[in-house]
Amino acid sequence: MQPMNLLDCNEDALCLILGYLAQADLNSVCLAHPHLRRLAEPVLYSTVEIEVPDCPQAAPPPIPSLVGTILRRPELAAHVRTLSLKGGHPSRWGGGDRRVPKLVAREPDLLEAISFVERTGLSYRGTWSEGLRGGKRDAYLAVLISQLPRLQRLHLGCGFFIENDLKSLVLRSILCDSHSDSSINGIPTTLNQLHTVTLKGYRSRGGRSIRNTANALPFFYLPSLRKMSLFIDDPLVPTLPWPTAEPPSASNLTSLKVLSVRESHLGQLLAALPQLRSLSWQWVFDPDFEDQFNSPIINLDQLMPALAHVRETLTELTIVASCSYANCAATPFPLQVQGSARALAGFDHLTKLVVPLAFFTGFAVPIRGERLADCLPRNLEELTLADDLYIDTNGNEEWDEPAYTRSIVAWLAGGRASAPRLRKLCLVLMCEDGEVDFEWLDVRNEIRELGQRMGIDVATQAVYDFGENLVAG
């Protein structure tokens, strides 16, 4: 029996086969035969993923070559649905964000990119062209994003979200400027299909030399945005610097994960998201970055009004917290809770809640009188209470971990009236020095017994090494 020639296969069958191949294999197929190339190119270019080694001595990513290719063959750009640029963490560059490794472009690719920029007629085209000549990542990414008319998913690692002024300018030109209803010369996209965006970020040690707030905000104007995850700094002004006089109304965005921004600015973000259903927010404090907006105070008097913007739509809320413990031995205790979380009880649509226990109990000893029962939404089904802000006080007698967990015992002992639909409770608690405290074990067993009586499935996790490892308890 003669082996079947691959070229004789039905095209639909070939496309199914090509869908299982790795990127390198697809590239080889494109070089094998013109017919196969026609079928393989849409698959090859549907997902563009570039991962850059953290080592600054590694070969620079081939972004200029990709830019040159799609400028010469724009039909390839129409295949791209996902653009993912990962790796290249600035903390491993040796000079941090002050030594961003430059891209290296071949002369034809550079000239092609500069020619495109000049054709746009945009007021900042001179700066853009200069950035291309200087090998700036941001300048090439701005060209790349502007050429993808069917882009649906965008992921930019922290190494690609440092030099970001030009990406921001291009996004503003496409999405926010008065001429955004008509096309810009040479730019074939309005980004009207981009629905998922991930923007990684980081804080450089020794100070915030770069604040990315103004450059991240244009993404909220994406007309089809449904899911977003971003690292965003607090600006040094009370009001978020939206790129237009009117803040956006991202009515299609239903899922947001936001890191770094604090309580005072969170509300301004949430006010622009009228249909948000899932929110994950990180409270963070680092004494190296302390200013008027970033303090060791958990300000519930600001947080509760901020969350109120999405009270009628929110079904899942995750709050995680982290703190740099450089000053953990300080006196008085470095962290404080200001205000009350009782407003959460009015979030009638909330069914899943993850929150640090300290947001309810505070840090003062003895434990303040506010009860968990006063803070929980009535329709809550799953609750996770985490000890994210545990601090090793080196034997400080005022720190009494079991006393905090006993506030949970007091709540459960009061019955199910505060959360009648609750069916799952998870406790994530710190164990000092990697050893499970026996008193904590007694409290855990008591919580489990109370939960069993009430028909609540209770799970516990012990956290060792300041949250770096989760071990089932």
In this predicted model, what pLDDT tens digit does every residue of 400-434 receive, in sequence order? 555 667 788 888 888 888 889 999 999 887 655 54
Three-state SS for 346? Answer: helix
Quote the CA–CA distance of 76 and 138 in Å, as a whole number: 21
Please name which of 397, 385, 285 lies closest in space to residue 336, comparing C-alpha atoms. 285
Buried b (16+ CB within 10 A) or exposed e, 183-199: ebebbebbbebbbbbbb
Pairwise pLDDT comparison (93 vs 394), residue with the higher score: 93
Q: What is the mean pLDDT of residues 216-232?
A: 93
In the chain, the amino acid numbered 441 is: L
The domain limits of the chain are 11-47, 53-230, 284-473
Mean of the per-residue pLDDT values of the chain: 82
* CA angle 204–206–212, rounded 5-degree value: 35
Reply yes or no on whether the pLDDT at 394 is more than 60. no
Instruction: Please write down the HEC assignment for all residues of 433-446.
Output: HHCCCHHHHHHHHH
Quote the CA–CA distance of 51 and 55 in Å, as a whole number: 12
Pairwise pLDDT comparison (151 vs 462), residue with the higher score: 151
Q: Which of 5-19, 42-56, 247-261 has the highest mean pLDDT?
A: 247-261
In the chain, the amino acid numbered 101 is: P
Q: What is the mean pLDDT of residues 331-354?
A: 89
Give me the pLDDT at residue 470, please. 31
Q: What is the mean pLDDT of residues 42-59?
A: 78
pLDDT band for position 88 (50/70/90)? low
CATH of segment(s) 284-473: 3.80.10
Pairwise pLDDT comparison (15 vs 326), residue with the higher score: 15
Least confident of 26-40, 220-234, 268-282, 439-453: 26-40
Pairwise pLDDT comparison (181 vs 262), residue with the higher score: 262
Pairwise pLDDT comparison (17 vs 213), residue with the higher score: 213
- The DSSP letter of residue 4 is P
Angle, nearest 10°, between helix axes 263-270 and 300-308? 0
Reply yes or no on whether the pLDDT at 323 is more than 70. yes
pTM: predicted TM-score of the whole model, two decimal places: 0.87
Q: What is the mean pLDDT of residues 219-225?
A: 95
In this predicted model, what pLDDT tens digit does every residue of 69-78 receive, in sequence order? 999 999 999 9
Please name which of 240, 389, 235 lies closest in space to residue 321, comparing C-alpha atoms. 389
Residues in the chain: 473
